[in-house]
Amino acid sequence: MTKKRKGKDMNLYYMNYGQAQKEIRSEELKRKKEKEREKRIKQNKATKENDFDFNTETVIEMTNKNKIRKEQEQRKRFTQEERKRKKRKKRIQFFVKIFLLLGIIIGGVTFAMISPIFSIKEIQVLNNEKVSSETIISLSELKTEENIFRFQASKVMSKIKENAYIENVKVHRKIPDIVQIEVIEREHNYSVDYLGKYAYINTQGYILEIAQDNKQKIVLQGIQSPEEQVVVGNRLNYEDLEKLEDVIKIMNAAKEYKLDNKITTIDIHDKNEYSIYLEEEGKKAFLGNHTNLSNKMLYVNAIIEEERGKSGEIFANGDLNHKFRVYFRESLNV
């Protein structure tokens, strides 16, 4: 064998050897991949996953996500529908309860309106002194054996207050068969001398009654209210109401010196020249206007004590702050 031939054989050897090495490495790589694949398959089996390759697993994962999302949406829709069903159920239950309650109420009212148990057996009147119970019951138009729920309390109260003596009234139902009428009456404080008669009034100027006598009350003379206004239930006009406030001041001042029970008449014709008459003492006192009444009444009381037994006039109608001196002028009439 020549040297040239030998060289060719060596080159061929190395080429075959390199090819063999590549094949060996390729086989090793295949075995390695096969081992990795087997390992992955084992892991998938351990986690109960299907034996797919990476791409297949990705598709499965996306499919699972879509499935989960759909399940979540279904659960959400189910939850919403369940809530709606519950709301409808509650709404129905609410209306059923309302209808039942209305039925009970209607049944109860019907029973109360027709049952003889609730027929009025007694009508009681409370706190009345001046107006008789019979008058108040008559004004109320209530009747025994009438159903206790058939009348309107507001209408009954309005009818009773048509009597000028009644200032306020309340009506109470005492179940099952008693009605109580509770009244507050106006007080007759003064009598107004008017056209030969006497109009009884209270301190608010309400005309309570027109009578022939004055029932021993203080008589007010000189009112300015027109004749057509002096009607039971009305009030005196504004000018007389202002004077009535001064009358109350005069009486309070007189009460300080125990003269209030001796006054029989107060002339209010002129608000700048009020006068009082004390019939028991036979004296008339001129007071001027409503100012400084307490001091004026002090001097009037002193003169009454000094001139007891004498009839006449006391003049206290000057300005006491400017050295006016109260004086007495005895009547010359025998």
> How far is CA 213 from each of CA 178, 194, 229, 280, rounded to the nearest angstrom?
39, 11, 20, 19
Q: How far, in Å, CA of 11 to CA of 177, rounded?
A: 137
Sign of the CA dihedral running 186, 188, 190, 193: positive
- CATH assignment, 117-185: 3.10.20.310
Residue 49 confidence (pLDDT): 47
Q: Which of 21-30, 137-146, 150-159 has the lowest mean pLDDT?
A: 21-30
Torsion of CA 278, 284, 290, 294, to 10 degrees: -60
Nearest to 189 by CA among 279, 295, 263: 263
138 — pLDDT class (breaks 50, 70, 90): very high
Residue 9 confidence (pLDDT): 56
The CATH number corresponding to 190-330 among 2.60.40, 3.30.1740, 3.40.50, 3.30.2420 equals 3.40.50
Residue 285 confidence (pLDDT): 96
Instruction: Give me the chain's average pLDDT, please.
Output: 84
pLDDT at residue 167 above 50?
A: yes
Asked whether 265 and 227 are in contact (CB, 8 A), the reply is no
Three-state secondary structure call for residue 175: coil
Asked whether 126 and 182 are in contact (CB, 8 A), the reply is yes
Interval 49-90: pLDDT, tens:
444 444 555 656 667 777 777 777 777 777 777 777 878 888
Nearest to 220 by CA among 239, 233, 228: 239
Residue 108 confidence (pLDDT): 63
Residue 333 confidence (pLDDT): 64
The top-scoring range by mean pLDDT among 73-77, 113-117, 208-212 is: 208-212
- Measured in whole angstroms, the distance separating CA 73 from the mean position of its chain's CA atoms is 52
Interval 211-270: pLDDT, tens:
998 888 999 999 999 989 999 999 999 999 999 999 999 999 999 999 999 999 999 999
pLDDT at residue 170 above 70?
A: yes
Q: Do domains 117-185 and 190-330 have the same CATH topology?
A: no
With both helix axes pointing from N to C terminus, report the angle between 293-306 and 238-256 in degrees, rounded to the nearest 10: 50
Q: What is the bridge-based pairing of β-strands 190-194 and 166-174?
A: unpaired
- Domains of the chain, by residue range, sit at 117-185, 190-330
Q: How far, in Å, CA of 314 to CA of 262, rounded?
A: 15
pTM beyond 0.75: the answer is no
Asked whether 201 and 229 are in contact (CB, 8 A), the reply is no
The secondary structure of residue 150, as a DSSP letter, is S
Three-state secondary structure call for residue 207: strand
Of 141 and 48, more confident: 141
Place of tokens 């010196």: 257
pLDDT at residue 318 above 80?
A: yes
Q: Which two tokens stand for residue 280?
A: 């028991």
- Measured in whole angstroms, the distance separating CA 179 from the mean position of its chain's CA atoms is 26
Residue 50 confidence (pLDDT): 47
Mean pLDDT of 286-292: 94
